[in-house]
């Protein structure tokens, strides 16, 4: 009996020891996994403080004014038309934590919501030391104006600034890029104000992205609008390439470029950046004009430019930035070029000093 009890106690002891060891190993493994994740995330913000001053604060608040602009060109062999809406001015507050900025801006001319003519825009940019990510969503409203027309022999002044509601554009996309010289060069210093560049420096960039594009053009409405400005009895004959109606196309792109931060005075920075994207565009719709398999004609160049001017003393910052994108699409029948971008002016304040900087003070 005693032997049986002792054996049972020994068995229970071994089981408990095994369970404790298993729990300890599971805990160590979880800590190891968490450590790898933390190390990876922190690696995205790895920098050399000789060149870059890290962010001293946990949070930031900012007020920003944004002016958006857009231009669309459509051309065939013999005709050309340029349309663009009036510029849109928006204002709103932002709240930031580390890499991320969250905020909302509203059109100061149209404070009512739900109007079908209003443009819909959403842009999110994430800037870390090593990588950058852009997510954008745009749907044009019905407020385009004809800015320039070439129809062959017609006086283009007749159509200048004429409203035209028969076209809508849409673009949804995401792009990511890698910053090679991330230890010395800081994109966040120019565009998210989360670090301060101390020494002038540049870096090569490489990236990839995808966008989905839609274009709807009511060619009958366009013809009627143009004829309304012409002398009585004259008509307009549009090329077949201008009669698009509806088309969708996808972009798969690879990009490369260079960015430079110029520290021209204490706490002051000017940044200029340009990326050339080689985009492979596949289309579908009424005017797809699509060939099966790989076709070099589906490859088109796009450009992304960024410019920033900022003063940042780690507590307060003020500045301006501009982002410009082009989206080109060409077939044997027509060429479309969409240019859009934004100009931002902002002022912000950082608060809640990080623990390690509290210790230094």
How far is Cα 355 from Cα 57, in angstroms, rounded to an integer? 9
Q: Regarding predicted confidence, which is higher, 261 or 136?
A: 261
- Per the DSSP assignment, residues forming a β-bridge with 302 are 277
Q: Regarding predicted confidence, which is higher, 192 or 324?
A: 324
What predicted TM-score, i.e. pTM, was given to this entire model?
A: 0.78
Mean pLDDT over 149-169 rounds to 79
Whether 47 has a pLDDT exceeding 80, the answer reads no
Whether 99 has a pLDDT exceeding 70, the answer reads no
Whether 291 has a pLDDT exceeding 90, the answer reads no
How far is Cα 250 from Cα 308, in angstroms, rounded to an integer? 30
How far is Cα 336 from Cα 352, in angstroms, rounded to an integer? 49
Terminal Cα distance for the chain, rounded = 71
Q: Regarding predicted confidence, which is higher, 106 or 209?
A: 209
Whether 266 has a pLDDT exceeding 90, the answer reads yes
Whether 41 has a pLDDT exceeding 70, the answer reads no
| pLDDT value of residue 149 | 86
Q: Regarding predicted confidence, which is higher, 9 or 136?
A: 136
| pLDDT value of residue 272 | 97
CB of 228 closer than 8 Å to CB of 349: no
Q: Which of 10-24, 106-120, 271-285 has the highest mean pLDDT?
A: 271-285
| pLDDT value of residue 113 | 41
- CA-wise closest residue to 119 among 103, 102, 106: 106
Q: How confident is the model at residue 255 (pLDDT cuts 50, 70, 90)?
A: very high
Mean pLDDT over 246-267 rounds to 92
How far is Cα 242 from Cα 161, in angstroms, rounded to an integer? 19
Whether 55 has a pLDDT exceeding 60, the answer reads yes
| pLDDT value of residue 155 | 63
289: left (phi over 0), alpha (psi -120 to 50) or beta: left
Q: How confident is the model at residue 117 (pLDDT cuts 50, 70, 90)?
A: low
Can you give the length of the chain in residues? 361
Give pLDDT tens digits for 150-159. Answer: 877 666 777 8
Q: How confident is the model at residue 258 (pLDDT cuts 50, 70, 90)?
A: very high
Give pLDDT tens digits for 312-327. Answer: 999 999 999 999 999 8
Mean pLDDT over 261-275 rounds to 96
Mean pLDDT over 203-218 rounds to 91
Q: How confident is the model at residue 264 (pLDDT cuts 50, 70, 90)?
A: very high
Whether 293 has a pLDDT exceeding 60, the answer reads no
CB of 141 closer than 8 Å to CB of 170: no
| pLDDT value of residue 44 | 52
| pLDDT value of residue 97 | 78
Q: How confident is the model at residue 125 (pLDDT cuts 50, 70, 90)?
A: confident
Q: How confident is the model at residue 24 (pLDDT cuts 50, 70, 90)?
A: low
| pLDDT value of residue 229 | 82
The residues near 344 (Cβ < 8 Å, ≥ 6 apart) are 64, 65, 66, 67, 320, 321, 322
**% of the chain with per-residue pLDDT over 90:** 27
Listing DSSP states for 160-217 in one string gives: TTEEE-SEEEEEEEEEEEEETTTTT--SHHHHT-SSEE-S-EEEEEEEEEEEEEEEEE
| pLDDT value of residue 2 | 44
Listing DSSP states for 246-286 in one string gives: EEEEEEEEEEEEEEEEEEEETTEEEEEEEEEEEEEEEEEET
| pLDDT value of residue 192 | 82
């Amino acid at each position: 009996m005693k032997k049986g009890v002792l054996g049972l106690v020994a068995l229970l002891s071994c089981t408990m020891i095994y369970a404790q060891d298993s729990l300890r190993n599971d805990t160590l493994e979880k800590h190891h996994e968490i450590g790898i994740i933390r190390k990876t995330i922190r690696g995205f913000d790895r920098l050399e403080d000789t060149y870059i001053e890290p962010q001293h604060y946990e949070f930031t608040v900012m007020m920003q004014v944004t002016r958006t602009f857009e231009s669309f060109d459509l051309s065939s062999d013999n005709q050309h038309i340029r349309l663009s809406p009036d510029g849109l001015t928006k204002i709103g507050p932002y709240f930031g934590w580390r890499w991320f900025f969250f905020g909302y801006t509203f059109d100061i001319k149209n404070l009512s919501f739900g109007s079908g003519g209003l443009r819909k825009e959403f842009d999110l940019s994430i800037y870390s030391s090593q990588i950058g990510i852009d997510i954008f969503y745009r749907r044009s409203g019905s407020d385009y104006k004809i800015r320039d027309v070439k129809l062959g022999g017609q006086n283009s002044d007749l159509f200048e600034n004429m409203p035209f509601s028969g076209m809508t554009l849409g673009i949804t996309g995401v792009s990511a890029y890698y910053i090679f010289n991330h230890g010395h060069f800081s994109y966040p210093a120019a565009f998210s104000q989360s670090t301060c560049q101390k020494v002038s420096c540049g870096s090569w960039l490489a990236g990839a992205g995808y966008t989905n594009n839609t274009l709807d053009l009511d060619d009958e409405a366009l013809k009627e609008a143009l004829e309304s400005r012409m002398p009585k009895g004259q008509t307009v004959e549009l090329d077949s390439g201008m009669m698009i109606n509806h088309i969708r196309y996808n972009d798969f792109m690879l990009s490369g470029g260079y960015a430079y931060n110029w520290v021209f005075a204490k706490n002051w920075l000017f940044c200029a950046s340009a990326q050339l994207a080689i985009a492979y565009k596949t289309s579908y719709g009424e005017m797809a004009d699509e060939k099966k398999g790989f076709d070099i004609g589906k490859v088109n160049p796009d450009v992304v430019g960024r410019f920033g001017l900022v003063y940042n003393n780690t507590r307060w910052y003020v500045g301006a930035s501009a982002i410009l994108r082009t989206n080109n699409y060409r077939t044997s029948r027509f060429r479309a070029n969409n240019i859009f971008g934004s100009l931002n002016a902002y002022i912000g304040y950082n608060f809640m000093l990080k623990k390690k900087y509290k210790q230094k003070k």
